[in-house]
């Protein structure tokens, strides 16, 4: 066969292969995957890019593992595909999938912790994600090793699991989840707050404990500094705080109205029975309650009673307080 014919044949074959390769590549890149349902892909640390490609192909997320590998290599992403748990749903082009793996956009669970939640509540909210059980989280939150790990001088993590919205990843441990909440607390508790706590001769734990009581007592944010002033005034006079929510702290799932018999519960948190602040917070307060604990209103009030509409009547003396209670009782008849 003449050399010219051989060269011509080689060129034709090369062009055909090139055209087929370009066509296949173009088709691969421009054809999105549309799985009929959400697909969960777990990529373990240390998994090679080739194994990841085969796993994606087996799940039906991509159509060609070899082509995915070639593109990952050409784009420089082949050694940067991250481990994690991913969810793929809807239409995804191969380059989209590669970008998701490259950026490590793993499955995340959104949880919102409302202000005033207790560790019982937080444990229930976290458990709803299915990441771990309520008991696992709760027991860890009460473990002295956990508080020691975070350097918190209170009986449990109560008070330092800052109420906010968090995004949790699969396989997170209770400490890792609490770590996000504690980090957020330290962001909120500013240096100005720390200086103010020193001015009041209060530790951070004492401030958060007082803030947690304010959080439970106040309905209206505008009253928080006034309620705080009542507690500050009582502490200065060495009067018991006599805060109803402290008496029922520790009762898992408590939701009913606080009764007179509840105020007699013998627990170190019960400020009807014991003077000073409780040994630790009774909930996880928000920033407004923390600020109120640090900057109370300048009042002479020593008592307050609910008006039944979210607001309170504040009194300077016991006789005035007694009259306010009678007035409230008469108004509710």
Report pLDDT digits (tens) over 177-187. Answer: 999 999 999 99
Whether the pLDDT of residue 16 is over 60: the answer is: no
pLDDT tier at 332, thresholds 50, 70, 90: low
The listed range with the strongest mean pLDDT (99-108, 225-234, 301-310) is 225-234
Whether the pLDDT of residue 62 is over 90: the answer is: no
pLDDT tier at 255, thresholds 50, 70, 90: confident
165-172: average pLDDT = 86
86-106: average pLDDT = 80
How far are the Cα atoms of 53, 150, 169, 314 from residue 328, in angstroms, in the given order?
A: 71, 45, 50, 12
- Rounded distance, CA 202 to CA 208, Å? 10
CB 12: neighbour CB atoms within 10 A?
10
Question: Residue 267 is encoded by which pair of tokens?
Answer: 């627990």
Whether the pLDDT of residue 274 is over 70: the answer is: yes
327 or 202, greater pLDDT: 202
- Rounded distance, CA 203 to CA 151, Å? 13
pLDDT at residue 22 in the model: 55
- Average pLDDT over the chain, rounded to whole? 87
pLDDT tier at 331, thresholds 50, 70, 90: low
Whether the pLDDT of residue 12 is over 80: the answer is: no
Torsion of CA 94, 100, 102, 108, to 10 degrees: -150
Question: Residue 325 is encoded by which pair of tokens?
Answer: 């209670």
pLDDT at residue 245 in the model: 94
All structural domains of the chain? 30-103 (3.30.1490.480), 109-188 (3.30.1490), 191-299 (no CATH), 302-333 (no CATH)
pLDDT at residue 298 in the model: 96
């Amino acid at each position: 066969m003449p050399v010219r014919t051989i060269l011509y044949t080689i060129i034709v074959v090369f062009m055909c292969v090139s055209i087929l390769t370009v066509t296949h590549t173009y088709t691969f890149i421009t054809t999105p995957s549309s799985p009929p349902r959400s697909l969960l892909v777990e990529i373990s640390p240390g998994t090679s890019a080739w194994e990841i490609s085969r796993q994606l192909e087996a799940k039906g997320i991509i159509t060609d593992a070899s082509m995915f590998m070639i593109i990952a290599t050409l784009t420089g992403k082949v050694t940067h595909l991250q481990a994690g748990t991913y969810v793929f749903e809807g239409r995804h082009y191969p380059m989209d999938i590669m970008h998701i793996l490259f950026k490590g956009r793993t499955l995340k669970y959104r949880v919102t912790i409302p202000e005033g939640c207790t560790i019982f509540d937080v444990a229930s909210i976290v458990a709803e994600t299915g990441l771990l059980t309520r008991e696992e989280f709760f027991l860890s939150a009460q473990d002295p090793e956990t508080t020691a790990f975070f350097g918190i001088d209170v009986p449990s993590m109560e008070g330092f699991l800052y109420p906010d919205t968090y995004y949790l990843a699969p396989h997170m441990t209770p400490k890792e989840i609490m770590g996000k909440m504690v980090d957020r607390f330290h962001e909120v508790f500013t240096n100005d707050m720390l200086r103010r706590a020193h001015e009041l001769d209060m530790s951070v734990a004492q401030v958060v404990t007082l803030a947690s009581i304010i959080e439970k007592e106040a309905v209206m944010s505008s009253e928080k500094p006034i309620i705080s002033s009542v507690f500050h005034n009582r502490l200065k006079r060495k009067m018991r705080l006599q805060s109803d929510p402290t008496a029922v702290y520790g009762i898992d799932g408590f939701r009913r109205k606080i009764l007179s018999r509840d105020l007699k519960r013998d627990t170190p948190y019960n400020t009807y029975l014991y003077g000073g602040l409780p040994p630790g917070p009774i909930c996880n307060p928000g920033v407004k309650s923390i600020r109120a604990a640090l900057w109370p209103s300048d009042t002479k009030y020593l008592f307050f009673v609910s008006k039944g509409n979210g607001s309170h009547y504040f009194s300077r003396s016991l006789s005035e307080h007694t009259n306010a209670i009678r007035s409230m009782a008469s108004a509710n008849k």
